[in-house]
Amino acid sequence: MEINSPKTLIVVAHPHIADSTTQQFLQAAVHQTSAIWHHIDGLNSLDVQQERQLLAAADRIIFQFPLYWYAAPASLKKWQEQVLSTNFIQQQLAHKQLGLVVTTGLPQKAFQTGGSASFTLDQLLAPFYAFGQQAQMQCLPKFAIYQFSYLTERQQQQLFMDYQRYLTQPSPDNLLNRSNWYLNYLQQHPQLPQQALLIDYLTQQILALDNLQTTWNLIKEAEDDRLDI
């Protein structure tokens, strides 16, 4: 079964990307997908029209950055100030999806009242959610990566897949979409061990979900008929 992935643009802001193992890890994950990796600090000069075309062509726009002083790097802010305008965002970005991939050297527990960051990550990201609201975009839940360097190999593998799913899985993030995404992933990665078993399992699960949906629709129709009498 083919999934109908969104066209995803990742606007990556990181002033020292060559030194960032996290960003290199994420870039490797992106290269296995159809998503576009667009590193803005690397641009020699900013072509506003070209940036706007990239944005207009995407279904899902993701801002990806490390948290510096509890906010996005200056380079992303500068890009926003140069590329975006109220007219442009309302005419071209409305109804697209907005995602945020945020990396931080702080642990997850720092982001709470009484924690070392004092605020939740969502609270600190309020300027982006306000932007999404103004542009009438659909804000996706953020994708946060805490203390990448402390992750075990197993956790890194999970992150690699979860990140790819964040980039390419159709929304909403429900059981059917997730199952279809995993099935598609397995079919495209035949080197994975236990692949056949997993594919069988997922195919059965998806059929069960489809049956459930059909049953549910029949119940609803019957109910609607009853109410029409």
Q: Rounded to an integer, what is the distance from CA 9 to the centroid of its chain?
A: 10
Give yes or no for residue 74 binding its own copies (CB under 8 A): yes
Q: Which stretch binds its own copies (CB under 8 A): 44-52, 77-85, 156-164, 177-185?
A: 77-85
Residues in CB range of 150: below 8 A, 6 or more apart: none
Residue 124 beta carbon to its own copies: minimum distance, rounded to whole angstroms: 5
H or E stretch including 8?
strand 8-12
Residue 15 beta carbon to its own copies: minimum distance, rounded to whole angstroms: 8
Amino acid identity for residue 142 in this structure: K
- Kindly tell me which residue out of 118, 195, 215, 217 binds its own copies, with binding defined by CB under 8 A: 118
Q: Which stretch binds its own copies (CB under 8 A): 2-10, 113-121, 188-196, 208-216?
A: 113-121
Give yes or no for residue 134 binding its own copies (CB under 8 A): yes
Give yes or no for residue 102 binding its own copies (CB under 8 A): no
H or E stretch including 2?
none
First to last CA, the chain: 41
Kindly list the distances between the CA atom of residue 42 and the CA atoms of 12, 71, 79, 228, in Å, as whole numbers in the listed order.
10, 20, 12, 62
Residue 146 beta carbon to its own copies: minimum distance, rounded to whole angstroms: 16
Give yes or no for residue 12 binding its own copies (CB under 8 A): no
Give yes or no for residue 153 binding its own copies (CB under 8 A): no
Helix, strand or coil, per DSSP, at residue 46: coil
Cβ atoms 148, 21 nearer than 8 A: yes
Report the residue number, 130 or 208, with the smaller CB distance to its own copies.
130
Report the residue number, 127 or 221, with the smaller CB distance to its own copies.
127
Residues composing the chain: 229
Give yes or no for residue 90 binding its own copies (CB under 8 A): no
Kindly list the distances between the CA atom of residue 90 and the CA atoms of 83, 86, 136, 171, in Å, as whole numbers in the listed order.
13, 6, 7, 22
- Give me the 154-193 binding string for its own copies, x by CB under 8 A, dash otherwise: ----------------------------------------
Spatial distance between the Cα atoms of 209 and 194, rounded to a whole number of angstroms = 23
Residue 74 beta carbon to its own copies: minimum distance, rounded to whole angstroms: 4
Give yes or no for residue 81 binding its own copies (CB under 8 A): yes
Which residues are at the interface with its own copies (CB under 8 A)? 15, 68-75, 77-78, 80-81, 84, 116-119, 123-124, 126-131, 133-134
